[in-house]
Amino acid sequence: MQIQKIITTTLKTKPAETSLPFGKYFTDHMFVMTYTKDKGWFNPTIKPHEPLQLDPSAMVLHQGQAIFEGMKCYRAEGGRLLLFRPERNFARLNASGERMNIPPIDEAFALKALSELIKTDTAWVPSAPGTTLYIRPFIIATEEAIGVRVSSSYQFIIILSPVGAYYAEGLSPTKIYIEEEYVRAVRGGVGFAKAAGNYAASLKGQQKAAAKGYTQTMWLDAIERKYIEEVGTSNVFFKIAGEIITPALSGSILPGITRDSAIQLLRHKGLTVTERAISVDELYATHQNGTLEETFATGTAAAVSPIGEFMWGEKIFAVGNDGIGETTQWLYDTLTGIQYGRVKDEFGWVHEVK
């Protein structure tokens, strides 16, 4: 398929790289491709970033049939533009789509389209330390009809947003509120998918944590309300008596690409990483007996984010010394080092846009 290009001549003024809030500014262009039952995916186009034309009856607006991805483009020294395991994102988009009855895209073609889009808007990839170009691919159901059934038409869109450094002044520990009332996802549901509605459903918990002065919510399993699942929109890891433990993927946990990368890097370093169920009671017990050494969350937005404190009901407890553990710091430095092309990529994870 040939990608049609409609290039705008009225370029926007770029925001200063020193003040880039997350996901607020968008580049000059976007990628759009349409699906209909008869034609499949067709008409791939790079065009100016502009509002969509949607009929008010478009299915996405009513039944929320929508999926997305989140990935980043990193500007390496010398100006090279790097993506981190991008094929994984498009594979996961299709896995999410399978669950939400959205027709699959050609993953290799999607990566090619993304590369073309980034090349069109190369000037928007920031270069200040820690900054990136955030990439948001998504698919929405566009059939004009009200009624709960599978849409017969879709749009696959990619938009780009320059974002600032997550930790502009170096890593700093976050405070996490353990949520016992609301749940994020349930086994058999859509928690493993990046399905739009999951995030609407999580806002209530997030708001509650924020009102108590906490950075994020830690979600527990929906059935027994005791096993740890995720932190906000990140996967979570605990270092307990030298061993790294992360909740096993159960169907209600999002299989993070950063999670998978962290497991591989930590094992490569010689650490033991165990994927298993861990309850909040067990976590508290390890704090009590002094074996809870480090806790961190992983995700594309922050890479690795240290956790310094938990609130669980009436109890407030710190992790380690509420500082940044050595494994957490090592993982952050190594992972971001690979992403920015500063550390040798022994895993074949980095994909250069050219």
Ligand X SMILES: *Cc1c(COP(=O)(O)O)cnc(C)c1O
Cβ neighbors of 219 (< 8 A, separation 6 or more) are 179, 183, 184, 185, 202, 205, 228, 229, 230, 231
Size of the site for ligand X (CB under 6 A): 14
Q: Round to whole Å and give the CA distance between 90 and 22.
A: 22
Inter-CA distances, 107 with 91, 92, 112, 342, 344, Å: 7, 10, 9, 28, 26
Q: Round to whole Å and give the CA distance between 27 and 48.
A: 9
Q: Are 290 and 235 in contact (CB under 8 A)?
A: no
Q: Are 205 and 179 in contact (CB under 8 A)?
A: yes
Paired with 303 in beta bridges are: 299
What is the contact mask toward ligand X in residues 66 to 85, using x (rule: CB under 6 A)?
----x---------------
User: From the list 230, 238, 252, 280, which residue makes contact with ligand X (rule: CB under 6 A)?
Assistant: 230
Nearest approach, Cβ of residue 132 and ligand X (Å): 12
User: From the list 72, 75, 175, 194, which residue makes contact with ligand X (rule: CB under 6 A)?
Assistant: 194
Residue 37 or 267 with smaller CB distance to ligand X: 267
Nearest approach, Cβ of residue 223 and ligand X (Å): 18
Q: Are 80 and 341 in contact (CB under 8 A)?
A: yes
Nearest approach, Cβ of residue 71 and ligand X (Å): 8
Is 258 one of the binding residues for ligand X (CB under 6 A)?
yes
Nearest approach, Cβ of residue 267 and ligand X (Å): 17
Is 97 one of the binding residues for ligand X (CB under 6 A)?
no
What is the contact mask toward ligand X in residues 236 to 255, using x (rule: CB under 6 A)?
------------------x-
Is 256 one of the binding residues for ligand X (CB under 6 A)?
yes
What is the contact mask toward ligand X in residues 296 to 315, using x (rule: CB under 6 A)?
--xxx---------------
Classify 14 as helix, strand or coil.
coil
Residue 118 or 303 with smaller CB distance to ligand X: 303
What 8-state DSSP symbol labels residue 249? P
Which residues of the shown chain bind ligand X in the complex (CB under 6 A)?
A: 70, 194, 230, 233-235, 254, 256-259, 298-300
